Amino acid sequence: MSLKEQIVMSQLPQHVAIIMDGNGRWAKSKGKIRLFGHKFGVRAVHNITEAAAELGIKYLTLYTFSTENWSRPLAEIKGIMSLLVSTIAEETETLLKNNVRLRVIGNNSLPDKVQAKLDECVKKTENNTGLTLVLALSYSSRWEITEAVRSIAKQVKDGAIDIDAIDQNTVQNNLSTSFMPDPELLIRTSGECRISNFLLWQIAYSELYFTDTLWPDFDKEELYKAIVEYQHRERRFGMTSEQLKK
């Protein structure tokens, strides 16, 4: 049976989040500059978005550029930003054709040209009802949680909510991801086993999947493999195995 055939469609994760890592090492292994790796990283983004949409996954969140990535060499940052603009320009039609909606989460500090291109694509695809592709851009989870705290504090100050009424839902509803469920599956490529400030609140009960495959080599089969493994995990949410079987 192929990997795809092993996927139990009735138990698909609704939301898959991915830390795309290893573009630089992939390029270096080929004697090329880092940007070459990012270019092939875009090909992987295309393939994985297509696979997620074909399977019927509802949300795919990609950690595309972290707030910490602003510390990289300027030439690499510029290269990634122009890659973003050209990719959005080239892929908008494909997103429309495949009923994919684009959304962006992050701290809005992208260059104007990049922001404008993203806004245009977000607007054009806003009525699409298939997969929602979420790009985390200039994003970090601690920034997001700090913003949520600030917003809740303001609502308390304005008398809009009572301090004793603050619960987990209040926090959840004030995060930039409030429009989607938490990811059931978080994938990180390239053999690094850390979270790097990504969706810290949202992954409380996510299954974590780490693979040595570098992001430019992460193809549809690799995604199917991750989903099959996810479906073999027992998600206990703090309960015992016996309780779950009842």
Q: At what angle do helices 74-97 and 112-124 cross, to 10 degrees?
A: 10
Retrieve residue 39's tokens: 């270019």
CB of 10 to ligand FPP, least distance (A): 30
Q: Which of 23, 47, 69, 107 is catalytic?
A: 69
**95 vs 185 by CB, closer to ligand FPP:** 95
3-class state of residue 129 by DSSP:
coil
**153 vs 192 by CB, closer to ligand FPP:** 192
* Non-local CB neighbours of 209 within 8 Å, separated by 6+ positions: 185, 186, 187, 188, 226, 229, 230
**53 vs 62 by CB, closer to ligand FPP:** 62
Which residues are at the interface with ligand FPP (CB under 6 A)? Answer: 20-25, 34, 38, 41-42, 45, 62, 64, 69, 80, 83-84, 87, 135, 190, 215
Q: Is 127 a catalytic residue?
A: no
* Non-local CB neighbours of 223 within 8 Å, separated by 6+ positions: 16, 48, 51, 52, 187
**41 vs 106 by CB, closer to ligand FPP:** 41
- Residue with nearest beta carbon to ligand FPP: 24
Q: Is 21 a catalytic residue?
A: yes
CB of 206 to ligand FPP, least distance (A): 20
Retrieve residue 20's tokens: 């795309």
CB of 104 to ligand FPP, least distance (A): 10
For residue 181, which of 16, 5, 7, 12 has the smallest C-alpha distance? 16
**119 vs 173 by CB, closer to ligand FPP:** 119
CB of 90 to ligand FPP, least distance (A): 9
- Cα distances from 83 to residues 12, 114, 143, 188, in angstroms, run 31, 10, 25, 22
CB of 91 to ligand FPP, least distance (A): 8
| Displacement of CA 143 from its chain's centroid (Å) | 16
For residue 225, which of 215, 246, 210 has the smallest C-alpha distance? 210
For residue 200, which of 145, 244, 124 has the smallest C-alpha distance? 145
Amino acid, res. 53 = A
Point out the residues that are catalytic. Answer: 21, 69
